[in-house]
């Protein structure tokens, strides 16, 4: 057993060497600049104002979500930072560190690291997508009562020139993005009932993760439509990667992946550490690491294979994840696909076929 753990540790170190950094001191980037209390935010009497175009304030929304949901997450396992919502702030960290919160036109300096106060460019496609994975869950948690009782009213700010593109309150988000809001509200409401139920810890964990990923997929679906116009400012390789990145959520969600701090960091560190250029041809990009090139190759292969077979790869994957035990195997397969350069991707179809036949 110790031998296999040693091999696993070496494999992990091999992946992390030369990969992107998405944490500082074991926490998301600039986490120390965030607030864990709504009362710390400015605003008039009885009203709290939050600006999601300020990086630290958007990250603060995640801190508030994690703090509020932690009491209901004991089924996720022993140890700290097991809350599956950790995957969201780590995504934002990667987008900051890789330059994906920057204005793709170069018109302003928002999204660039270098100071404690980092603005987020409203013209960034990645920032737009993340808005639907931060503001909508945050407002849904308020609506579900997870944050507590007697809280002040929350006002979400939006730059005047793009205000029409974004919902900024519980009512407007529920009206404009009904499915995403409803699924996030259901997730947060279910945390209370599931955590107090008589189900086994494994059953609670599986159900909670299933509801969370259904909500994330709804946010991504909404974002795909709302943010589409902003993709026109990016190179073809970056657009292709962005589409593959959104599509990959279908595979991760089907396994009910536990996106804890450790698990999320493992899968995010090999993501490309910069915005892709028109001249980039993965997996042969000289200034990116072997791990980053491998990730881009995997994303491209899966996206192409799925399109070539009319979406059947995604369908097969989802059908194969038919039980808790199957989803556990799927998690292992996901790790092989994403992190093992020697894994033959063409084997996926036969493996999934075998899994489906045993469902």
Name every residue whose Cβ is closer than 8 Å to that of residue 255 and which is 6 or more positions away in sequence. Answer: 321, 327, 330, 331, 334
Q: Phi/psi at 194 (nearest 5 deg)? A: -65, -40
Mean pLDDT score of the chain: 90
Instruction: Between 10 and 207, name the one with better pLDDT.
Output: 207
Confidence at residue 35, expressed as pLDDT on a 0 to 100 scale: 85
CA distance 204 to 201: 5
pLDDT of 17 above 50: no
Domain ranges of the chain: 2-357
Q: What is the CA radius of gyration of the chain?
A: 20
| Tokens at 124, concatenated | 């960034």
Q: What is the pLDDT of residue 11?
A: 39
pLDDT at 254 over 70: yes
Of 39 and 224, more confident? 224
pLDDT tens for each residue of 316-346: 999 999 999 999 999 999 999 999 999 999 9
Instruction: Judge whether 125 and 242 are in contact, CB under 8 Å.
Output: yes
Could you read off the pLDDT of 159-190 as tens digits, one per residue?
888 888 899 999 999 999 999 999 999 999 99
Angle of helix 290-308 relative to helix 324-339, nearest 10 degrees, comes to 120
């Amino acid at each position: 057993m110790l031998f296999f753990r040693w091999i696993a540790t070496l494999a992990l170190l091999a992946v992390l060497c030369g990969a992107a950094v998405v944490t500082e001191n074991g926490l998301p980037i600039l986490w120390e600049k965030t607030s864990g209390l709504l009362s710390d935010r400015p605003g008039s009497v009885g009203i709290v104002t939050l600006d999601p175009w300020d990086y630290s304030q958007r990250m603060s929304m995640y801190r508030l979500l994690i703090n509020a949901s932690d009491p209901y997450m004991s089924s996720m396992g022993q140890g700290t930072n097991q809350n599956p919502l950790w995957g969201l702030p780590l995504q934002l960290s990667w987008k900051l560190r890789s330059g994906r919160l920057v204005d793709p036109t170069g018109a302003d300096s928002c999204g660039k690291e270098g100071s404690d106060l980092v603005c987020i460019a409203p013209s960034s496609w990645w920032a737009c997508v993340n808005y639907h994975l931060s503001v909508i869950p945050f407002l849904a948690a308020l609506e579900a009562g997870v944050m507590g009782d007697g809280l002040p009213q929350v006002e979400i700010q939006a730059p005047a020139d793009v205000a029409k593109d974004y919902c900024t309150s519980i009512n407007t988000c529920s009206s404009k993005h009904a499915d995403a809001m409803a699924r996030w509200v259901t997730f947060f409401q279910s945390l209370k009932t599931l955590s107090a139920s008589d189900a086994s810890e494994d059953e609670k964990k599986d159900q909670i993760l299933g509801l969370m990923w259904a909500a994330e997929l709804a946010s991504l679906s909404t974002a795909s439509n709302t943010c589409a116009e902003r993709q026109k400012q990016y190179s073809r390789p970056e657009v292709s990667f962005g589409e593959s990145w959104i599509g990959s959520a279908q595979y991760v969600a089907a396994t009910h992946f536990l996106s804890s701090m450790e698990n999320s960091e493992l899968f995010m560190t090999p993501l490309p550490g910069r915005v892709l250029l028109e001249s980039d041809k993965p997996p042969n990009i000289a200034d990116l690491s072997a791990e980053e090139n491998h990730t881009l190759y995997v994303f491209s292969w899966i996206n192409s294979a799925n399109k070539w077979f009319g979406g059947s790869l995604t369908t097969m994957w989802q059908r194969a994840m038919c039980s808790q035990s199957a989803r556990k195997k799927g998690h292992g397969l996901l790790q092989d696909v994403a992190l093992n350069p020697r894994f033959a991707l063409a084997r996926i179809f036969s493996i999934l076929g075998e899994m489906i036949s045993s469902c």
